[in-house]
């Protein structure tokens, strides 16, 4: 006489819980990645009327109203600015950087950063905020 078990293990694997976890992780990383691109240097960017959203450049040069320069939130002197930018952008396929200048920054400080880009054939972007 053959005795059968009533409780057989179900070999199926439910993906519902794993799908929920992956969806939550996706939402978390999307929110944190948008917040991670904000710079810690407090500058008031000038306003612009028509602003197109671009892909952010990997290197950011911030210029404060007192003429101090920051490369990726690290303070640098005027003399160190060009060698640092050149060393960080050499070997890239499309070398470019973003200039984040306060709206009260002197024009000569912004032009100095733009001359570095012109001399080394780098592309630049000027950061602005949308006019409301």
Q: What tens-digit pLDDT sequence spans the chain (132 residues)?
A: 677 766 766 667 777 888 888 999 999 888 877 666 566 666 676 666 665 655 556 788 999 999 899 998 899 999 999 999 999 988 888 888 899 988 888 889 999 999 999 998 888 888 877 766
Orientation of helix 78-89 relative to helix 107-120, angle to 10°: 40
Question: CATH second-level architecture of 59-129?
Answer: 2-Layer Sandwich (3.30)
- Note the pLDDT of residue 129: 76
Cα 79 to Cα 82: distance, rounded to the nearest angstrom: 7
Q: CA-CA-CA-CA torsion for 105, 95, 33, 132, nearest 10 degrees?
A: 40
Q: What is the pTM of this model?
A: 0.59
Task: Answer yes or no: are the C-beta atoms of 58 and 98 closer than 8 Å.
Answer: no
């Amino acid at each position: 006489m053959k005795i059968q078990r009533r409780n057989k293990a179900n070999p199926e694997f439910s993906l519902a819980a794993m799908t929920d976890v992956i969806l939550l992780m996706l939402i978390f990383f999307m929110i944190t990645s948008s917040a991670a691109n904000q710079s810690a240097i407090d500058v008031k960017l000038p306003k612009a009327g028509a602003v197109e959203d671009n892909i952010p450049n990997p290197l950011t040069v911030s210029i404060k109203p007192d003429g101090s320069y920051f490369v990726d939130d690290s303070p640098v002197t005027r003399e160190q600015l060009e060698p640092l930018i050149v060393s960080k952008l050499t070997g890239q396929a499309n070398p470019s950087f973003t200039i984040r200048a306060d709206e009260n920054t002197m024009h000569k400080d912004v032009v100095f950063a733009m001359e570095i880009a012109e001399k080394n054939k780098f592309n630049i972007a000027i950061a602005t905020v949308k006019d409301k």
